[in-house]
Amino acid sequence: MSIKAVAAKILARYSHIQTQKWANSPVATQEKVFQSLLREAKNTQFGKEHNFSTIKSFEDFAKQVPIRDYEDLKPYINKVVTGESDVLWKGKPLYFAKTSGTTSGAKYIPLTAASMPFHIQAAKNAILSYIHETGKADFVDGKMIFLQGSPEMEKKNGIKLGRLSGIVAHYVPKYLQKNRLPSWKTNCIEDWETKVDAIVEETIHQNMTVISGIPSWVQMYFEKLKTKSNLPVGDLFKNFNLFIYGGVNYEPYRAKFEQLIGRKVDAIELFPASEGFFAYQDSQTEKGMLLLLNSGIFYEFIKADEFFTEKPKRLTISEVEINVSYVLIISTNAGLWAYNIGDTIAFTSTKPYRIIVTGRIKHYISAFGEHVIGKEVETALQNAILGTNISVNEFTVAPQINPKSGLPYHEWFIEFDSEPEDLQAFALKIDTKMRQQNVYYDDLIKGNVLRTLVITKVVKNGFQNYMKSIGKLGGQNKLPRLSNDRKIAAFFPL
């Protein structure tokens, strides 16, 4: 074992001890974060307008600070963007992470001197947690690849602006720089397909041990590697044993990945966003990701099925239950206050607090009151495929409200790698799995309001072509698993 691997194990043990301190005192940890946020921001414009200096408890905070999404917070963010200081957080942010919103156009999420270190620390601790649990550290001697956005940045009123993954690239420690791929030049290529081709050329003869990125885009990289080398990825990279991912559920991709790799590899799930780094998988044996309660973020939770009521109840960490879908609300040391990031989560454990991402509060189907969420469609497809030779590259679901004939239905657009012999029987199998999960959907089928779902086959690379058509190919962009309209469906010919 190398000196670097030994050092990584020592550091991993120290990181584990530090993590256990706050994980074993979750309520006290969150209260400390809460009071610190109020204290640091009480003299900002937002803090003064919302009387932070008088807030003594969470109940006070909930009364004085309403839930907001980006559009609601935009008047404050616009002031920050134009160069004003002490608006949402003291001083000015270090960066703006630029993202593309579905309704807001370009979104500018502030990253501050207080918040930025937590993004870096969380990613590092995720890997250290894996080393501590498994004892595996030899991968630190190999090459590591992180499929991400361009690290090039521009300036907006003196503040650097870029994609989060590109901003984070500037914080890779020096001791990892020589192990890290792709090169800076390749990382700066904007066109995603050209970039992946260049990454293949740079990495195909390297000792790759860790590969990280959003599964759908890593899959493209693997497919290109396999085409060029005519070898499974696992044979090409014999020491590749760790896949790190975030942004989407890995399970729908797992079978395809294992086919491309030729064997199973360990995986670590992350839950990062421009707004904060919320959780990472801290165990290879326990379900869910450890919610980071000591990272400058105060969390609130609203039950997803109550979110659109007039006065939904706002809960703190001490009040949550397992297996309930919650909308995640955050207040952060980047100046986001009672902010709805749009994600829904569920707790798999409360000792410690571990979560899974169940979907997006805006990504759902309820054209008939069925309240179908992302986790349900992913689970249904995964269970329907189990034990078969069927393989799916990508999929999305939309309602068909006005069919040419018959009852309305949910239309599943699926890009198969290996198709079922009987498409209708496969559709019925998925439908059964959906009805077992969602009582509202089951009632609509029983009541002849909806008929069994219909599968529409999408040609190879069809979803890549769709993402390219809307300017969201690659990087941190993700295909919605489902939508309550037919905007995505309209792209595919009948």
Residue 484 lies in a domain: yes
Residue 423 lies in a domain: yes
Buried b (16+ CB within 10 A) or exposed e, 65-98: bebbbbeebeebbebbbeeeebbbbbebbbbbbb
Residue 405 lies in a domain: yes
What pLDDT, on a 0 to 100 scale, did the predictor assign at position 375? 82
Residue 473 lies in a domain: yes
**What does the alpha-carbon distance between residue 320 and residue 331 come to, in Å, rounded to a whole number?**
17
Helix axes 3-23, 26-41, angle to 10 degrees: 90
Residue 456 lies in a domain: yes
Structural domain boundaries, residue 466: 364-491
HEC readout, 283-304: CCCCCCEEECCCCCEEEEEEEH
The answer to whether residues 290 and 274 touch, using CB atoms and an 8 Å cutoff, is no
Residue 370 lies in a domain: yes
**What does the alpha-carbon distance between residue 195 and residue 208 come to, in Å, rounded to a whole number?**
18
Residue type (1 letter), 22: W
The answer to whether residues 410 and 372 touch, using CB atoms and an 8 Å cutoff, is yes
Mean of the per-residue pLDDT values of the chain: 91
Residue range 92-151, pLDDT digits in tens: 999 999 876 544 467 899 999 999 999 999 999 999 999 999 999 999 999 998 877 778
Quickly state the pLDDT bin for 175 (edges 50, 70, 90): low
For residue 468, the tally of other CB atoms under 10 A from its CB is 15
Residue 435 lies in a domain: yes
Residue at token pair 């995603």: 192
pLDDT for residue 62 is more than 50 = yes
For residue 287, the tally of other CB atoms under 10 A from its CB is 11
Q: Which of 80-84, 149-153, 484-488 comes out lowest in average pLDDT?
A: 149-153
pLDDT for residue 256 is more than 90 = no
CATH number at residue 482: 3.30.300
Pick the closest to residue 287 from 215, 245, 347 (CA basis).
347
Residue 428 lies in a domain: yes
pLDDT for residue 429 is more than 70 = yes
**What does the alpha-carbon distance between residue 26 and residue 294 come to, in Å, rounded to a whole number?**
9
The answer to whether residues 334 and 360 touch, using CB atoms and an 8 Å cutoff, is no
pLDDT for residue 68 is more than 60 = yes
What pLDDT, on a 0 to 100 scale, did the predictor assign at position 1? 80
Number of domain units in the chain: 1
Say how far residue 125 (Cα) sits from the centre of its chain.
17
